Amino acid sequence: MAETMTAWAVRWPGPMVAGPLERIRLPVPQPAPGEVLVEVEVCAVCRTDLHLAEGDLVPRRPGTVPGHEVVGRVAARGPGADRFATGARVGVAWLRSACGACRYCLRGAENLCPDSRYTGWDADGGYAEYLTAPQDFVYELPADRPAEELAPLLCAGIIGYRALRRAELPPGGRLGIYGFGASAHLTAQVALAQGATVHVLTRAESARALALQLGAASAGHAYGAPPEPLDAAILFAPVGDLVPVALAALDAGGTLAVAGIHLTDIPMLNYAEHLFRERTLRSVTANTRADGRALLEHAARHPLSVTTVAYGLEEADRALADLAADRVTGAAVLHVGG
């Protein structure tokens, strides 16, 4: 194993045109007790990485290596890390750790733990050839599926699954999806497998075409109206202006779940138009490991069609720039090794 590795770090948070990422060499990290060292095969590119690079999400440490949708192989194990054999295929996701003892963790809401830590934010992530992770927060992955199809499941899939739960879509209900990127195109398939009618509202023509191809009943412009009232909706686009639009599209008793970690300001809401008749507005905060296991089990039973755009590790800055400019249909993935 080499002593150093290639990685990308957020050096100067700002617009992608200003080049906030820097390609660097770092020492290969050593796994601490209870941790595994993962040799990265593929790391998917998440909009959260873009928020971190551009400063919408304030960095928690200088020079952080982004990336939290990692598929790789266990290359080494720290003291006491015996859950995975060396060479095992594993996934590393956004939630890196939680205390396990606070009132949130004890009630199964570890995503709300005040001491929770996150891959690619509190610790270096997968825009690198290696990363370390606590073994208890690492997922076992099947060896027979392409890494680039698995990587987007580890955040885009998981957070979409949690957002769908938060939206409380009734059986056979009508779901509206606002924005149709990496997470949305997976969530739509989960909802369809559950018998939902899915209406997609997004600005990109290529995304609308993909939505129809995957089985959506309709695909229109983000600020347009769906063809029928919605029982539930999920807002994936980080655009606060869409909150009143989506709320107004809900039927009585409907719920809007906002899936992003960052959202621009929400305009003033009109109570009668947007919230009356028991419409509900909810946020989504990270995920629990139970969400991750449930999504991976669903994907094993109902294989998801994962649309990806491939980049090399050396193109990580271009991948984020393309994401910022809406030039990515589906999920961008960085091929690192393997």
Segment 73-101 shows an average pLDDT of 98
Question: Would you state the structure tokens that stand for residue 62, as one six-digit string?
Answer: 């200088």
Q: Report the pLDDT value the prediction gives residue 2, as an integer from 0 to 100.
A: 84
Segment 305-332 shows an average pLDDT of 96
Contact call for residues 257 and 232 (beta carbons, < 8 A): yes
Q: What is the largest CA-CA distance in the chain?
A: 63
Question: Would you state the structure tokens that stand for residue 188, as one six-digit string?
Answer: 């739509």
Q: Report the pLDDT value the prediction gives residue 295, as an integer from 0 to 100.
A: 97
> 143 has which bridge partners?
none
User: Which CATH number fits the domain 4-154+307-335, given the four candidates 3.40.50.2300, 3.90.10.10, 3.30.420.40, 3.90.180.10?
Assistant: 3.90.180.10
Contacts (Cβ under 8 Å, ≥6 apart) of 276: none
Q: What is the pLDDT of residues 185-200, one digit of tens each?
A: 999 999 999 999 999 9
Q: What is the pLDDT of residues 126-174, one digit of tens each?
A: 999 999 999 999 999 999 999 999 999 999 999 999 999 999 999 999 9
Full DSSP string of 275-313: ITTT-EEEE-----HHHHHHHHHHHHHS-----EEEEEG
Q: Report the pLDDT value the prediction gives residue 52, as an integer from 0 to 100.
A: 96
Instruction: Tell me: pLDDT of 45 over 80.
Output: yes
Instruction: Tell me: pLDDT of 95 over 80.
Output: yes
Q: What is the pLDDT of residues 248-289, one digit of tens each?
A: 999 999 999 999 899 999 999 999 999 999 999 999 999 999
In the chain, % of residues over pLDDT 90: 96
Q: How confident is the model at residue 338 (pLDDT cuts 50, 70, 90)?
A: low
> 218 has which bridge partners?
199
Residue ranges of the domains in the chain? 4-154+307-335, 158-283
Residue 203 to residue 223: CA distance in whole angstroms = 8
* Radius of gyration of the chain from its Cα atoms, rounded to whole angstroms: 19
Predicted model pTM = 0.94
Whole-number Cα distances in Å, 137 to 14, 122, 124, 150, 174: 30, 14, 15, 17, 34
Domain spanning 158-283: CATH 3.40.50.720: yes
Segment 307-313 shows an average pLDDT of 97
User: Please, what is the average pLDDT of the chain?
Assistant: 97
Contacts (Cβ under 8 Å, ≥6 apart) of 268: none
Instruction: Tell me: pLDDT of 1 over 90.
Output: no
Segment 101-123 shows an average pLDDT of 98
User: What is residue 271's three-state secondary structure?
Assistant: helix
Segment 94-98 shows an average pLDDT of 98
Helices (H), the chain: 47-54, 103-106, 147-150, 156-166, 182-193, 205-214, 242-248, 289-301, 316-324
Q: Report the pLDDT value the prediction gives residue 214, as an integer from 0 to 100.
A: 97
Residue 332 to residue 206: CA distance in whole angstroms = 15
In the chain, % of residues over pLDDT 70: 100
| CA-based nearest residue to 245, from 212, 279, 278, 277 | 279
> 42 has which bridge partners?
71, 335
